[in-house]
Amino acid sequence: MRPAIDGARLIARLKELGETGRDTEGRLCRLAGSDADKAGRDLLCRWMHAAGLRVEIDRIGNIHGLWQPGGAEGDPVMIGSHIDTVIDAGIYDGCLGVLAGLAVIEAMQAAGIRPSHPLALVAFTNEEGVRYAPDMMGSLVAAGGMEVAEALATIGTDASTLGAELARIGYAGEREPGFLTPRAFLELHVEQGPVLEAGALQVGVVDTLQGISWQRVTIGGTANHAGTTPMALRRDAGVAAARVVTFLDRLARGTAGAVATVGTLRLAPDAINVIPASAVFTVDLRNPDDACLRDLEAALETCLDELRAEGLAVTTEPLARFAPVRFDPGIVATIEEAATERRLTWHRMTSGAGHDAQMMARVAPSAMIFVPSRDGISHNPAEFTDDSALVIGADLLLDVAGRLCR
């Protein structure tokens, strides 16, 4: 019997997980290590246990579910993504990849498939990086790109410590991160961008992922009276920050493939009649070409030097820096073959978003499958993908996983 995804169960779970961890205003906000994260993790673990998976948690809180039926030997084919979210998130980002991975294993079980290699489902800790930087932290640690002790010691935006929060919610596991060496890693994700919808395509075969540079910038000026201080005598950290924001916007608009975002900005003392004494903001720069990304970083530094020359105190702190990634050509080709066999319309593409597969590509042949996002919207509660499109993606994931574990 040819295995098939139980689409109704996949969609029902996505919705149930999507209702888990909402805040008092109804916003989905499962930040890493939070009570909401715990609620999502508990639900996922319940489903994993029900599927008969051996659930193992590592020291950075990554959740693994191993399916090793008789005769399956060697390193596992790993499928997964993340279930932490941004603030006021949609229900698909990350969760689709995890729940589709579970559905793949269940579909093989239901069809009586006996894989030659085990399958491992994984939900990585802190992919979003909203509370603790860098993003993709759980997969980065599992791939050996960051020491687990350093990751656990990360201080969050709310002054919490990731390690303490994982212990508090009961997800500081004992396995060493990276205890499983996947023979391949697969991640299904919503595109989170407009390309597939615009091209009326059902699937994106992701062969590359752009580079990401995150830093925190602090500008120090002088607090003074808003009414008495002449414009020429001000050292206004808020104005300086605004200049950087508009500089980056113009820079990215004028650079092929570049995007630049200032997503957080805090002024202090934050009072209507006080000139800001400090501005602290984050910068997110991305480009598929690493040399170009370095040029963007250098241009920002030049802009900050101009502010320093004007007497403002400017410091920067690196938060994340990931080079562009090229996924495994063999797995990319396998996805294309499987998509063609299913008569899907597909297209090779680059991922604009960061993903755990980007980290796992350091240690295993990896690739990703995208399904369309309505209006290209993500990191927003309006994030939406048709149920049928989700199931198409999950069935394709099933076909590819089936070929890789045979």
**Contact flag: residue 211 with ligand GLV (CB under 6 A):** no
Least gap, CB of 238 to Mn ion (angstroms): 29
**Contact flag: residue 58 with ligand GLV (CB under 6 A):** no
**Contact flag: residue 207 with ligand GLV (CB under 6 A):** no
**Contact flag: residue 354 with ligand GLV (CB under 6 A):** yes
| Three-state secondary-structure class, residue 86 | coil
What is the binding site for Mn ion (CB under 5 A)?
93-94
What does each C-alpha distance from 206 to 128, 134, 198, 233 come to in angstroms?
A: 19, 22, 17, 53
CA-based nearest residue to 93, from 295, 351, 294, 367: 351
Which residue, 4 or 43, has its beta carbon nearer to Mn ion? 43
Q: Give buried/exposed letters for 216-254 (b at 16+ CB in 10 A, else e).
A: ebbbbbbbbeeeebeeeebbbbbbbbebbbebbeebbee
CA-based nearest residue to 206, from 378, 396, 405: 396
Q: What is the phi/psi pair of residue 105, to 5°?
A: -65, -45
Angle value at C-alpha 256, between 255 and 258, nearest 5 degrees:
70
Look at residue 40 and give the partner it binds from Mn ion, ligand GLV, none, a contact being a CB closer than 5 to 8 Å depending on partner kind.
none
Least gap, CB of 230 to ligand GLV (angstroms): 42
Least gap, CB of 351 to ligand GLV (angstroms): 8
Least gap, CB of 387 to ligand GLV (angstroms): 22
Least gap, CB of 17 to Mn ion (angstroms): 14
**Contact flag: residue 128 with ligand GLV (CB under 6 A):** yes
Q: Which two tokens stand for residue 235?
A: 């050292």
**Contact flag: residue 135 with ligand GLV (CB under 6 A):** yes
CA-CA-CA-CA torsion sign (158, 161, 164, 166): positive
**Contact flag: residue 95 with ligand GLV (CB under 6 A):** no
Least gap, CB of 139 to ligand GLV (angstroms): 12
Q: How many residues does the chain have?
A: 406
Which residue, 91 or 172, has its beta carbon nearer to ligand GLV? 91
Which residue, 106 or 128, has its beta carbon nearer to ligand GLV? 128
Residues near ligand GLV, by CB under 6 A: 128, 135, 353-354
